[in-house]
Amino acid sequence: MTIELTERGIAATIDHAILKPEFTRADVDKELDIAAEWGVFSVCVRPSDIAYAVERLAGTGVAVGTVIGFPHGTTSTAAKVAELAQAQADGAVEFDMVVNIGALRSGFDDVVTADIAAVVEAASGAVTKVILETSLLDLEQIERGSRLTEAGGATFVKTSTGFAGGGATVEHVTLMRQTVSPAVRVKASGGVRGLEAAIAMIEAGATRLGTSASATILGELRARAEGREASQAQDTTSY
């Protein structure tokens, strides 16, 4: 999948994260307005904010996603399935689930795959993304987690929650992209706070970016484009 490094192209890769536990309704409103203003692909909101976000973003073209088993992934599979069902009823259309990190680190591959597969089945064809929390894993675990994500039928494998003291790296995104087949996409999330980082993740193979810095990333890109246009105009008038 080729992504144009234009404002529209990069905006179409962004899931604008609105997940901080301390956010008030006013904070949420501000972030939803940013998502609508910049025309990002979606917002990823706390489960309790789904219905409100759906209503506030109606007509903007911005999709609403949410998180499942967030942020530690240690809830039971039954709880994750129930959480997804409620989220879907509230209007969410994409679901970012946290893998059972302890099970993955323990080598309990069947447990991990079954957990993912149950959530994927409950999503009934909706987009599902499996968060590995790469800052807590070594390279072998990231590779194995990526393979198990594909075995479980998920749409994306994703780097991080952004709440575990680490985020996406080019090395990890590259490894994930090399491990899964073209049928599975890669989402880079955590620490993607500027345009250069966003471009680096896309070049490493990510087709979706999870970030709370959408305005910064897209604003930098707009300023760069405007600078080029001004330079070209100046060159034209110099003849």
The set of catalytic residues is 96, 158, 187
Other C-beta atoms closer than 10 Å to the C-beta of 163 total 16
Type of residue found at 122: A
Task: Concatenate the DSSP letters of all residues of the chain into one string.
Answer: -----SHHHHHTTEEEEE--TT--HHHHHHHHHHHHHHT-SEEEE-GGGHHHHHHHTTTS--EEEEEESTTT--S-HHHHHHHHHHHHHHT--EEEEEP-HHHHHHT-HHHHHHHHHHHHHHHTTSEEEEE--GGGS-HHHHHHHHHHHHHTT-SEEE---S-SS----HHHHHHHHHHS-TTSEEEEESS--SHHHHHHHHHHT-SEEEES-HHHHHHHHHHHHHHHHHHHHHHHHT-
Distance CA 232, CA 237 (A): 9
